[in-house]
Amino acid sequence: MSEQKLLELRGLCVSYGPVEAVHQVDLEVRCGEIVTVIGPNGAGKTTLLSAAMGLLASRGEIALDGQRIARPSVEAMVAHGVALVPEKRELFGEMSVEDNLLLGGFSLWRKGQRDQGARMEEVFAIFPRLKERRAQLASTLSGGERQMLAIGRALMARPRLLMLDEPSLGLAPLIVKEVLQVVASLRNHGVSVLLVEQNARAALKVADRAYVLEMGAVALTGQARDLLGDQRIIETYLGMG
């Protein structure tokens, strides 16, 4: 893993009207790292991720490759190689797997990179199940397959940093494991990951480092394996007294 910083958030604050939901968060993702943000319901995980993607206005600094982004916006983040898979997945149910993937590659196509077919084959190599079901309508996929398609669609744009909001939501434990293992393998394809999860145990098992968010602030940060072995974390977040 490289020490080079890909994403840095410094003193990030996000408000909804007069209410501040994220307070002074410092966070970084280095090249090749899988970093997870865990924490209870309403801790501000989705808000933090949305602000980091430029979807919500924030105060503080967002930097990519050591360069401060002056006006964070989705366009700016996408242009720097960042992609977000939102919690709701937002697939086009009446379109095939293949067409959903092609839409994910549209930003590259517009830039004149017309090798969509080759990229799709790379995504199919990561998610062989999607290849088997390439002609199937997205609405008829299983929950796990839909999540794989949402991730695959984001990968079509060849991101360097993939942000995932609760990919385990609504999935059976075995499928969660399968999806998160693929997420962890993305580093072998040159993709770093920022993974927001309420399923702390599953996230800590695949991540390198973790941030624990509580009431909008970072309560704890460290190596994922250390947090997995930490009694306070186990009692508070992993439901094992």
Closest CA to 40 of 213, 210, 205, 159: 213
Residue 15 within binding range of ligand ATP, rule CB under 6 A: no
Is residue 151 within 8 Å of residue 87, measured between CB atoms?
A: no
Shortest reach from residue 164's CB to ligand ATP, in Å: 12
Give whichever of 81 and 86 is closer to ligand ATP, judged by the CB atom: 86
Nearer to ligand ATP, 138 or 164 (CB): 164
8 A C-beta contact, residue 123 and residue 108: no
Q: Which positions from 35 through 74 interact with ligand ATP, judged by CB under 6 A?
A: 39, 41-47
For ligand ATP, the closer CB: 45 or 153: 45
Render 168-218 in DSSP notation, one character per residue.
TTT--HHHHHHHHHHHHHGGGGT-EEEEEES-HHHHHHH-SEEEEEETTEE
Cβ 61 to ligand ATP shortest distance, Å: 20
CB of 148 to ligand ATP, least distance (A): 21
Footprint of ligand ATP on 183-202 (CB under 6 A): 198
Distances (CA, A) of 107 to 4, 54, 104, 150, 199: 26, 17, 7, 16, 32
- The DSSP code sequence of 9-70 is EEEEEEEETTEEEEEEEEEEEETT-EEEEE--TTSSHHHHHHHHTTSS--EEEEEETTEE-S
Of 130 and 171, which has the nearer Cβ to ligand ATP? 171
What number of chain residues touch ligand ATP (CB under 6 A)? 11
What letter represents residue 112's amino acid?
Answer: G
Least separation in angstroms between CB 192 and ligand ATP: 21
Q: Which is nearer to ligand ATP, 34 or 196 (CB)?
A: 196
Closest approach of Cβ 39 to ligand ATP, in Å? Answer: 6
CB closer to ligand ATP, 136 vs 198? 198
Which amino acid does the sequence have at 104? G
Per CB under 6 A, the list member of 1, 2, 4, 16 interacting with ligand ATP is 16
Q: In the bound complex, what is the minimum distance in angstroms from residue 117's beta carbon to ligand ATP?
A: 36
- State how far the Cα of 37 lies from the Cα of 55, in Å rounded to an integer: 18
Q: What are the residues binding ligand ATP (CB under 6 A)?
A: 16, 21, 39, 41-47, 198
